Structure 1
Amino acid sequence: MMSRQEGNEKISPTARYVAHIRTYTDIPYAKEIAEESQAERDFQALAGESAESVIQLTPIWEARYKATNRIIAQRRITQVLELAAGLSPRGLALTENPGVVYVATDLPQILAQIKTLAGVILAKLPSQRPNLYFRVVNALERDELLQAASPFQSGRPIAVITEGLLSYLTRAEKETLAANIHALLKEYGGIWITPDVSSKQSWQRIAQDDENCVQQRIRNISGATGSDIENNTFVDEDDMRQFFSKAGFAIEEYPHTSVIDELTSIASLNLNRERVLKLLRVTKTLILTA
């Protein structure tokens, strides 16, 4: 029987899937990471015939990335832990500021790849990044999660980020993750930032323009990762709120419409701004406090 860790390693192609989508934006280091990892190949394999339609949804991915960064900046948080970081360029970008400590975590296979990619990119730059850390972590194991935070100073708040993780977890696994993050925030203080709050209800609203594209994307990613994404997602807004409240978090919403003026993919893909605005009204990021 395949272990849960082996199953989660199958998610790694989706990291390259998202890495390719980021190339249609101005997110720092996104193009370098996508090129070095040959991300387009995995994107085409996962997206299949719906590739063009999926690319039209790029503003959703760009908005959640930029909303997260804006929240960190607004809260003046300088200690950041990203769970299941995949091929996120966030660590390279944030640690340009020597006052920021960033820890990328993931399972061994994908973490080794982003660590190697970061090394290749940094070798071409004049500055090194002693404030950039990589830690192998299964976020469902509390001891591993707490150990990953060891580079942080106590008494200073942290931001824990999950961007794209919760969709791959069962309800029970979500509960375990939430309890682990709650324990971490109780120790350090700070916030949990996540845009992973999509529901069957929100998918239906996004799919109004192209239901086949959304359904095909769900089938392709579920097949590639072995995760039942459709069943893993929240039922609706009430279900999502009840989940985080029961886990002991206060909930603050950060609307993605607030970053629309920062989304360069609208121009690069020649998208209709009003249609993008309609999509962004469906999505959001949560700021969760223990």
Structure 2
Amino acid sequence: MEATPRDYSSISPTARALLLLKGMTAIPFMKEAAQLILSPDPYTPDFNSRDLAMWAGVLHFEDRYWSIDQLLAGLPLRNILELSSGFSFRGLAMMQQPGYYYVDTDLPDIIRLKKQLVAALDSVSTGGTMELLPLNALDEAAFSQVVAHFPAGELAIVNEGLLMYLNTMEKEQLCGIIRRVLEQRGGYWITGDIYIKTDERKMDMQRSKEWQEFYRQHQIHENKFDSFDQAESFFNSMGFVVDKMAVREHARLTALPRLLDVATEEQLQQMRSVGRARATWRLKLAM
């Protein structure tokens, strides 16, 4: 890590909070990035915290991240486009393996700050290529220009943390763009954003006022799917079929034993009663 700290003060409070949460996991480069944004103060996460809501949040984001990797594994393609990547560093992790061409995208302000973080993180490429490019995923002309950066071959488009910000019309617009890209290039769309509406009050956990306001401002609940069946019907109507669904990899989830330690049996039962609220799907074009 570079010796001279940079100024990361313009990272939004929600993005900063999310990065600090992910720093408590084994997700590649998250701890180092958390240390950078707090520099010169130390990053000292409280692993002894008994805050159930916090551990549930850590578990959620940890599971979502690894589920994308799970559905990428085994695919023969090496061209990967990530949409709305935020302060995640999957591309850097991919560069530890040879042959990948990874394009990491988000809105311009985020990419500007992320370039600073990537430059400061210690990473070693074994022959892959990574670009960080600004992209509004709903801008089809800009999307096509980004896709043109890739060498020949099929493409994997991945995202986590995007669809819940889009209303139905915007989801349809994004689906149309991705469908047309895959019709030209071939490949898959892996999305960790199959969120469905649930009654979180049953889980006996209260979000902070900041997170409540964030959810309200971006209409997160309203933008979720009504059910998994409705989500699948939606993608079918957009020309996609579900190729594979991720399964939870309990052994990879460092937050799971901590959540189980702090939750009472009643709280665990309440969580189970709510049921599954998110899934990661690998989609392909309908034949």
Distance 1:211 1:25, change over 3 A: closer
- Kindly indicate whether residue 218 of structure 2 is the aligned counterpart of residue 227 of structure 1: yes
- Kindly indicate whether residue 176 of structure 2 is the aligned counterpart of residue 179 of structure 1: yes
CA offset at residue 96 of structure 1?
A: 1.5
Q: How does 1:212-251 map to 2 (within 5 A)?
A: 212-213=206-207, 219-223=212-216, 226-251=217-242
CA offset at residue 191 of structure 1?
A: 0.7
Distance 1:171 1:55, change over 3 A: same
Distance 1:111 1:36, change over 3 A: same
Q: Give the Cα separation in 2 of the matches to 1:56 and 1:271.
A: 12
Query: Which deviations, in whole Å up to 9, do the C-alpha atoms of 1:55-103 show, x marking residues without a partner?
Result: 3332221111111112112213311101011101101101122311110
Q: Give the Cα separation in 2 of the matches to 1:102 and 1:90.
A: 9
- TM-score, normalised on structure 1? 0.79
| Structure-1 residue corresponding to 2:29 | 29
Partner SS state of residue 103, structure 2: strand
RMSD between superposed Cα atoms in Å: 3.1
2:254 to 264, 268, 272: 264
Computing the radius of gyration over CA atoms, which structure comes out larger, 1 or 2?
2
Distance 1:196 1:88, change over 3 A: same
Unpaired runs of at least 5, structure 2: 1-9, 42-50
2:141 to 131, 140, 143: 143
Distance 1:218 1:170, change over 3 A: farther
Partner SS state of residue 65, structure 1: helix
CA offset at residue 193 of structure 1?
A: 0.6
- TM-score, normalised on structure 2? 0.80
Distance 1:103 1:66, change over 3 A: same
Q: Give the Cα separation in 2 of the matches to 1:86 and 1:128.
A: 24
Amino acid at match of 2:256: I
Partner SS state of residue 103, structure 1: strand
Q: Give the Cα separation in 2 of the matches to 1:217 and 1:243.
A: 31
1:252 to 222, 240, 243: 243
Higher helix share: 1
Q: How does 1:117-132 map to 2 (within 5 A)?
A: 117-122=117-122, 125=123, 131-132=129-130
| Structure-1 residue corresponding to 2:98 | 98
- Kindly indicate whether residue 196 of structure 2 is the aligned counterpart of residue 199 of structure 1: yes
How many pairs were matched up?
Answer: 262
CA offset at residue 261 of structure 1?
A: 1.4
Query: Which deviations, in whole Å up to 9, do the C-alpha atoms of 1:172-225 show, x marking residues without a partner?
Result: 11111111111111111111111111111xx32x55322533x967623235xx
CA offset at residue 255 of structure 1?
A: 3.7
* Matched-pair identity in %: 30
1:288 to 274, 283, 286: 283
Amino acid at match of 1:237: F
Distance 1:53 1:219, change over 3 A: same
Distance 1:127 1:175, change over 3 A: closer
Distance 1:167 1:73, change over 3 A: same
Amino acid at match of 2:21: I
Contact residue 22 and residue 31 of structure 2 kept, 8 A: yes
Contact residue 99 and residue 128 of structure 2 kept, 8 A: no
CA offset at residue 26 of structure 1?
A: 0.8
267-276 or 107-116: bigger deviation: 267-276
Amino acid at match of 1:88: S
Q: Give the Cα separation in 1 of the matches to 2:237 and 2:75.
A: 25
| Structure-2 residue corresponding to 1:161 | 158
Distance 1:142 1:237, change over 3 A: same
